């Protein structure tokens, strides 16, 4: 008998095998605004991804849950947004853009599922944040990341973000 998270992992693996074996081409990657259930999925995805990759424990899940709760409770239409990347109805990744100040937006919780990495999903999500930030009148987009998140850092650097400060964080 498998635990629920193992069942989810097995189902995702089987779906990936089926997609790889299908003769038809896969659909395009689509970015869409979040809908009911997506923000819970973001918290779960963050917790699973970072627990598996870096053994970050409950603390990461708590941080993601707080960010999502703040987003939902203080949502500012036209100033904040969340996008879900998907292909053929399957979620691949997500990102939030929130108001940090009148002039500065903050990119939060960028994540791409391992099976979707290398397909440009992260770059699409970051570019969408930048377009939205410009339309909303922000002058800058701020973000912080962990040094071990090398793939994310490459995406940010390729998009023109630059390191302005380093600090120790747990």
- Is residue 42 helix, strand or coil? helix
- Is residue 57 helix, strand or coil? coil
> What's the pLDDT at 25?
54
Which stretches of the chain score pLDDT less than 50? 23
Terminal Cα distance for the chain, rounded: 35
Joined tokens for residue 8: 């989810």
Residue 119: how many other CB atoms lie within 10 Å = 16
> What's the pLDDT at 159?
75
Residue closest to 8 by CA, chosen among 113, 152, 84, 95:
113
> What's the pLDDT at 52?
74
> What's the pLDDT at 8?
73
> What's the pLDDT at 80?
98
> What's the pLDDT at 136?
98
């Amino acid at each position: 008998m498998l635990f629920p998270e193992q069942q989810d992992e097995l189902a995702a693996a089987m779906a990936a095998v089926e997609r790889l074996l299908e003769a038809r081409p896969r659909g395009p990657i689509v970015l869409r605004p979040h809908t009911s259930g997506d923000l819970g999925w973001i918290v779960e995805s963050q917790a699973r991804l970072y627990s598996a990759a870096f053994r970050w424990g409950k603390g990461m899940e708590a941080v993601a849950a707080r960010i999502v709760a703040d987003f939902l409770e203080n949502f500012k239409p036209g100033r904040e947004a969340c996008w879900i990347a998907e292909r053929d109805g399957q979620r691949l990744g997500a990102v939030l853009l929130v108001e940090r100040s009148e002039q500065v937006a903050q990119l939060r919780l960028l994540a791409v599922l391992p099976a979707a990495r290398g397909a440009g999903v992260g770059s699409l999500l970051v570019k969408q944040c930048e377009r939205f930030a410009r339309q909303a009148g922000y002058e800058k987009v701020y973000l912080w990341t962990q040094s071990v998140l090398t793939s994310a850092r490459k995406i940010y650097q390729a998009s023109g973000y630059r390191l302005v400060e380093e600090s120790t964080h747990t």
